[in-house]
Structure 1
């Protein structure tokens, strides 16, 4: 049997890399990260994010992901924390805002395109939100900035698009209308998304109009009081005529 040539060794190595990537892509999907948006009763908002990369993905794209996250977060006054957890690397940040106005006035992270339409009802206001994540665009930006690699960029793209993220939204009360969340647990909705997903997050929130509800409630109580008074008077009138 003749010796393997450099070309055959390169081909064998490439096939082995493809096999490894396929094993990673085809394994049962588990979230690599999570994003949490929590709206508090006082109107404050907490935003938390964590992303965990195994050693293979970290060695390929970790540096570029860190660079991209750091540049985006610094513009919004947010500090990125990087920690080692065994063979994995975790990126985290946490930011709190006093109100939705503070969040709107802060520098945008440009993580998603958001469209919100409102419909005023008498007892509540309906907010219909469509959120289109830009994860796929960030994936391409990361890949384009990697430079020369020892593996084809198509393989890196497969790995990147398989990264999964759980997006969690928590409101003080269960005000949710129709939505396409993967699951709901009390006041929290969770979407399971990947870097390759193109389907937007859809959500309806119905916010009560407390003033009008109070007026409606007061009107009902007044009508009940009038009805009870008339009923009592009618009974007394009948008693006198008997």
Structure 2
């Protein structure tokens, strides 16, 4: 297989999965480990991926963010399993916070028929909650057109009217050093305040967010439980030293 063909294969695997193991690339391309490592180094130099232990992940700009529509078609099965596990932590009578985002949106379908109160900053979320006859409140504030999330000073003031048994928050990056991050500072401030107002906080994010770090820090790893679809054994051992990790696809 030619260099260009291997590079295209690697990028196709990454676009499909978000991350890829060295062994998977070797098997798919019928190439040696040294050849694949050179390919990954070349692609990293071009800014197309980031090498991590045992493989690679897609490169992401620290200050950019996908739209809600773009996010909703990435790793759908993993997000649904994360949502199912997240919903199992909710008890009848709970008041919960659902952050705007594609993974948190999936949680709603597992809450149908429950005796709970939900506060959200997601426009799509509140519409879905109401359609399922769930008691729902939406924050006031500035609407982000791209992600349909309410943020800003008014939202920060509005959130102080609530206290939560549990909060389910999305993250664009989960990093062992930087903690939980997102591209938008205003959104990071709201997520941090929600965490401080909650008895328990859960970060719901699929494996494509692992090892990424974005512009604005939300809070530290130990401030939340991670609910993720899958995590490599070595990664899980490292993260478990700082927080609890719940895998949906063990």
Which bracket does the TM-score occupy, shorter chain normalised?
under 0.3
> Whose strand fraction is larger, Structure 1's or Structure 2's?
1
TM-score between both structures, scaled by the size of structure 2: 0.26
TM-score between both structures, scaled by the size of structure 1: 0.27
Greater relative contact order (CA < 8 Å, ≥ 6 in sequence) = 1
Question: Larger C-alpha radius of gyration, 1 or 2?
Answer: 1
